[in-house]
Amino acid sequence: MPDNNRNKPVLIIGLAILFFILLSLIPGGIKIGPFELKPVDLFIDIKPDSLLTALPTELQNSVEEKNESINSFKLTAAGFFNLDLLKDKSSAEAETNLDAAPPAFEKLSGNVSHMNSFFRALKNAGNSQVRIAHYGDSEIEGDLITADFRQYLQEKFGGTGAGFLSITSQDIAFRTSTKHTFSNNWNTASVFSGSIRDVEIGIDGSVSIPQGRAWVKYETTGRFKNLRSFNTARVFYNNAKPNAKIYYSFDGGREIPVELKTGSAVNEIVLKADGEVKSFRFSAEDKSANFYGVSLESGNGVYVDNFPLRGNTGVSIRDFSGRILKDFNKLMDYDLIILSFGLNVASSNLSDYTWYEKEMIKAVNLLKTSFPQASILIVSVGDKGIKKGSSFVTDPNIPKLVAAQRNIAVKSGVAFWNLFEAMGGENSIAKWVNAKPPLAFKDYTHVNLPGAKKIADMMADAILDAYKNFK
């Protein structure tokens, strides 16, 4: 190898070191447009607290939505749910171990009377379906939190089945409540991946179109007892071509063709099995229709649909089609919508959340218009830690964000639940990470399976605490 080529790696490494040293010399507080540079300290892990540079506190005037791709990648690569915690542990043992970090009980606040329409539906759960939509960021991806919340309510009020599932999904590798597989020839548009011209996304923020003969299959798992079987599959679609069909089967049986209805409104096909089944599969022909998803159900009771919007602040909901949402409401008749966002707002260089309040109020108002009979509950962001010396403390912007989310609920006239306080308030995330077993990952941001169950139980307890006072 020529000498000049042999020296190139050394030169590149040297230039990289020089670049980071120069970067660390740039003082924090310099503004570039609406954003502020934060100081870079290469030696933060070995400095004592007294030598740390104070975080900038100057308020910003705007926000740029940032996704959590780095955190999501780290968690997925590490095993997002820490599957070791699933091995042969009884629910009693898991519950006992969860008491290692006892949280505080936090009641609903805001306009709690806005929950009354949901409470009325809940009283009649034995005679009809009660439907809940749970929107959130990566904190609920993979049915995290939602699955335990669903199980809690189904045990008390009935209902069997996972509810709504997308045609394709990014979380199939770590979703434990349902096994979900699909062919690779679906063309999916979503709030994550961009749009398809003249095609509107669905209630979950996505829509899928078959390219050639495409298929999707849903199978139950044994993790949640109320999700081990179902007897009905509802397929949602629109803009079907004339004479278009799907071909479906339950439990690997023979494929049955069924014709789709034409029209731009969201339609559904209700397919019933002869008894309780454990799997449903359907295939569709090339560009035969726009498919939105499938709901797996068994009769009356409570159904909780998991709608994770990875990397989203929740603001994108304002851009959903009101027409499509209203079509879904005619079919699903939602009784409660839960909004659990905040991680991606907290990850931005933002300390003034006025802009976020205004845009989220638009999102809430769209939901109120599209689902006029539904109650709405805003759940605050939980605790999130940042490194300070050798320990982790609450990100100073988290309390400001919680206050902004409370303002969104108050100004929108909906209910509010303070997850930050329910977790234990300031610096609680460190306790969750260090609990036995751990309740959160060492990114000091995301909860794991036991932590998700704890949040689900706390949220359900808060809702039912308000429900017991409903007359």
Q: What DSSP designation does 238 have?
A: E
| Assigned domain for 27 exists | no
Beta pairing partners, 387: 392
Q: Please write the tens of the pLDDT for every residue from 319-349.
A: 999 999 999 999 999 999 999 999 888 876 7
- Res. 146 pLDDT band, cuts 50 70 90: very high
pLDDT score of 22: 60
Largest Cα–Cα distance of the chain, in whole Å? Answer: 86
pLDDT score of 352: 87
pLDDT score of 19: 64
Backbone angles phi, psi at 216, to 5 degrees: -145, 145
Characterize 422-458 residue by residue with b for buried, 16 or more Cβ atoms within 10 angstroms of its Cβ, and e for exposed: bbbbeebbbbbbebebbbbbebbbbbbbbbbbbbbbb
pLDDT score of 348: 67
- Judge if 421 and 323 occupy the same domain: yes
- Res. 62 pLDDT band, cuts 50 70 90: very low
Residue 28: is its pLDDT beyond 70?
no
CATH number of the structural domain spanning residue 218:
2.60.120.1360
- Judge if 430 and 441 occupy the same domain: yes
Domain that holds residue 406: 64-159+300-471
Provide mean pLDDT across the span 405-428. Answer: 97
- Judge if 295 and 323 occupy the same domain: no
Is residue 353 a contact partner of residue 401, using CB atoms and an 8 Å limit? yes
What is the chain's percent helix, strand, coil content, to nearest 5?
35, 25, 40
- Judge if 316 and 456 occupy the same domain: yes
Domain termination residue (choose one: 244, 278, 299): 299
Considering only residues 79 and 196, tell me which one the structure prediction assigns the higher pLDDT. 196
- Judge if 219 and 269 occupy the same domain: yes
| Assigned domain for 449 exists | yes
- Judge if 187 and 106 occupy the same domain: no
Joined tokens for residue 359: 């845009």
Is residue 190 a contact partner of residue 307, using CB atoms and an 8 Å limit? no
| Assigned domain for 260 exists | yes
- Judge if 361 and 232 occupy the same domain: no
- Res. 9 pLDDT band, cuts 50 70 90: low
| Assigned domain for 371 exists | yes
Considering only residues 351 and 19, tell me which one the structure prediction assigns the higher pLDDT. 351
pLDDT score of 13: 65
pLDDT score of 47: 35
| Assigned domain for 451 exists | yes
Provide mean pLDDT across the span 56-72. Answer: 30
pLDDT score of 469: 87
Considering only residues 84 and 190, tell me which one the structure prediction assigns the higher pLDDT. 190
Residue 209: is its pLDDT beyond 70?
yes
Is residue 140 a contact partner of residue 308, using CB atoms and an 8 Å limit? yes
Provide mean pLDDT across the span 136-163. Answer: 96
pLDDT score of 96: 34
Q: Please write the tens of the pLDDT for every residue from 268-323.
A: 999 999 999 999 999 999 999 999 999 999 999 999 999 999 889 999 999 999 99
CATH number of the structural domain spanning residue 467:
3.40.50.1110
- Judge if 151 and 168 occupy the same domain: no
Closest alpha carbon to 266 in 234, 314, 309 = 234
Characterize 102-119 residue by residue with b for buried, 16 or more Cβ atoms within 10 angstroms of its Cβ, and e for exposed: ebeebebbbbbebbbbbb
Provide mean pLDDT across the span 175-192. Answer: 94
Is residue 165 a contact partner of residue 234, using CB atoms and an 8 Å limit? no
| Assigned domain for 111 exists | yes
Provide mean pLDDT across the span 223-235. Answer: 96
- Judge if 360 and 232 occupy the same domain: no
Residue 7: is its pLDDT beyond 60?
no
Is residue 410 a contact partner of residue 111, using CB atoms and an 8 Å limit? yes
Domain termination residue (choose one: 299, 332, 349): 299
pLDDT score of 194: 67
Provide mean pLDDT across the span 121-129. Answer: 94
pLDDT score of 197: 72
Joined tokens for residue 170: 């990014």
Q: What DSSP designation does 265 have?
A: S
- Judge if 190 and 258 occupy the same domain: yes
Average pLDDT, the chain: 84
| Assigned domain for 294 exists | yes
Domain termination residue (choose one: 299, 334, 359): 299
Residue 375: is its pLDDT beyond 50?
yes
pLDDT score of 284: 98
- Judge if 310 and 387 occupy the same domain: yes
- Judge if 347 and 469 occupy the same domain: yes
pLDDT score of 23: 54
| Assigned domain for 209 exists | yes
Residue 6: is its pLDDT beyond 90?
no
Number of domain units in the chain:
2
Residue 39: is its pLDDT beyond 70?
no
